[in-house]
Amino acid sequence: MGPVTGATLAAVLANLTDQLDQIIDDARQAGRSVVIQAGTEVNIAIENAKNAFSDLLDKAFKDVDQTVRSTVDQINAMLSQITDQAFSQLGAITDSVQQIVNTLPFHSHQPQVTTMSPDFVVPTVVSYPVAIRFKGNFEFAGTPGYQPVLSIGNQQFPADSATTQNLEFLIPVTSLFPTPIDPSAGFKFARVQLTVPWKTPGFLGIGHHDHRDSYSMVVGALPPTPGTLTLSYKVTRPGTPVPRTFTTTSYRQSSASDGGNDDHKNVPYSVSAETGWSVVRGTSQLNPGGREGGQNADWSYSFVSDDGNTVVYNVTTLHHTVGTSGVLNFTISFQEIPNDVPPVTDSHQDSITLKWGDSYPIPYPMGTWTLSFDAFDGHHRDFQNFDTSDPFIKINMQNGQPVVGTADPKTLQWP
């Protein structure tokens, strides 16, 4: 996008910053970390240009010289490159930024920033100090009254270490990214302002003039979780016996001529479960298959027991000298279950959410689980045992139990 006709140089450079913030925000939402890194590099060029051209900021862009126009054109070209992801590697953008910074017409003694690190910090609700470092030329950084300051909102942090070439600020991570950590959130970025005081000699070397250069710098934040963790595991449990119905062949008890024309009272019928099976107590029944004449009193039956894996019923038939004697055809049935039931292995999958610095004990023995990890930077790993080779996820043993832990946010350096 070209400069607006009639706009001042300050407006043109501010527009470049707005474009850059939009590019970084789009990349943040899409999870394109390399684009965010490239954007932070181009931001260094824009901020240095604002300071190097500070005497011209109120001048109409159409009236500035070719050196200024060329710088703006180069920055515009880099913005197009990172928008289209047309750069071959991040180093190509970094080199282009350095070329711009090296050719800017800085005043004698004026500070300049060449690099900033880290590109990304690790967010966490438990604060820790993040070391924000700048390299460049800071001639008066160690001079009393000219100490650099890093501002975040209304907070100001003096440099914890300052030399003519390096500045370091130890900033609480919760000051950089104070909002609650949402595990579903992706990359974030924030702006901090570096202020570097400096001075130039007065007329004929008498006295001096004080100046303050400001750099609005971009700090990125990794997603609040290392990625997606899925625990696949198998659990073996006792099998559930499936009952089936067992029915005897038909029995016949008679008090008629085929039964000796005699009473048969409380005759026990004992039936056992089949080999390898057991009676399900309380499920038995005697099933009359019809009777041959007589009244109900001519035959009867009663349940005795189903102890000892055996079902027992007593059957009674009565003889009549005159009339029809008692006769009963019947079967006995019950439910039976197998004695040996093979164990059943069930497969499960659990999603595990871990923030940076968290840990989770895996409550299953080695060899029965797989932990699949899809990291925020796109790499995939499967863990099945002790493993500490991944930069974000490590499997350790604690008291004989596998424990998955995420990287300590205080020590993780990425990329």
pLDDT in tens, 57-97: 999 999 999 999 999 999 999 999 999 888 878 899 999 99
Query: What does pTM read for this prediction?
Result: 0.76
Pick among 1.25.40, 1.20.1050, 1.10.10, 2.60.40: CATH of 107-223:
2.60.40
Q: Give the H or E element holding residue 34.
A: helix 33-52
Average pLDDT score over residue span 224-253: 95
pLDDT in tens, 356-367: 999 999 998 888
pLDDT value of position 88? 77
Type of residue found at 354: L
Q: Tell me which residue has tokens 């439910």.
A: 335
pLDDT value of position 293? 47
Q: How confident is the prediction for the chain on average, in pLDDT?
A: 93
Average pLDDT score over residue span 399-405: 93
Q: Is the pLDDT of residue 255 over 60?
A: yes
pLDDT value of position 6? 78
Q: Is the pLDDT of residue 176 over 50?
A: yes
DSSP for 50-108 reads HHHTGGGTTSBGGGS-HHHHHHHHHHHHHHHHHHTT--S-HHHHHHHHHHHHHHS-PPT
Confidence band of 4 (pLDDT split at 50, 70, 90):
low
Type of residue found at 19: Q
pLDDT value of position 203? 76
Q: What phi-psi label fits residue 266: left (phi over 0), alpha (psi between -120 and 50 degrees) or beta?
A: left
pLDDT in tens, 286-324: 999 865 544 456 899 999 999 999 999 999 999 998 888
pLDDT value of position 104? 96
Closest to 180 measured CA to CA, from 136, 126, 119, 255: 126
> From CA 319, how far away is CA 121, in angstroms rounded?
100
Q: Is the pLDDT of residue 35 over 50?
A: yes
Average pLDDT score over residue span 124-130: 91
Average pLDDT score over residue span 228-257: 95
Higher pLDDT, residue 131 or 205: 131
Q: Is the pLDDT of residue 342 over 80?
A: yes
pLDDT in tens, 36-47: 999 999 999 999
Q: Is the pLDDT of residue 236 over 90?
A: no
